[in-house]
């Protein structure tokens, strides 16, 4: 996806940010304020990577990617052996 940023990682690699819808962001921040915070005006979720597990990070990254991916690209990903099938 050209020039579309859906996630960032701070230089110290302990904090990341993912694009997130405002409702999901609010729910995550309220549920786990030690791990999540509102970043950059309510459209980005700040994540303390020392407070969340890998599966949570993968799910958040996938959701952020899907929010910007063209529908055909997301559908193609879903057809791959591991695409979208986190369990």
Whether 67 is covered by a domain: the verdict is yes
- 50: phi then psi, degrees, rounded to nearest 5: -80, -10
Please give the pLDDT value at position 40.
81
Please give the pLDDT value at position 82.
72
CA distances from 35 to 3, 10, 17, 66, 82 (A): 28, 15, 11, 22, 27
Q: What is the DSSP string of 73-85?
A: HHHHHHTSTTTT-
Tens of pLDDT, residue by residue over 13-68, are 999 999 999 999 999 999 999 999 999 888 999 999 999 999 999 999 999 999 88
Please give the pLDDT value at position 78.
83
Whether 79 is covered by a domain: the verdict is no
Structure tokens at 13: 């690699």
Contact 1, 11 (CB under 8 A): no
Contact 8, 16 (CB under 8 A): yes
| CATH number of residue 33's parent domain | 3.90.1150.30
Whether 33 is covered by a domain: the verdict is yes
Query: In which band, very low, low, confident or very high, does the pLDDT at 77 lie, cut at 50, 70 and 90?
Result: confident
Tally of domains in the chain: 1
Please give the pLDDT value at position 86.
53
């Amino acid at each position: 996806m050209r020039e579309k940023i859906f996630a960032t990682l701070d230089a110290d690699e302990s904090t990341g940010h993912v694009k997130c819808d405002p409702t999901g962001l609010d729910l995550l921040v309220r549920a786990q304020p030690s791990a999540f915070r509102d970043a950059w005006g309510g459209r980005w979720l700040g994540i303390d990577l020392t407070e969340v597990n890998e599966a949570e990070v993968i799910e958040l990254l996938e959701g952020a990617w899907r929010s910007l991916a063209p529908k055909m690209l997301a559908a193609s990903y879903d057809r791959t052996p591991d695409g979208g099938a986190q369990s």
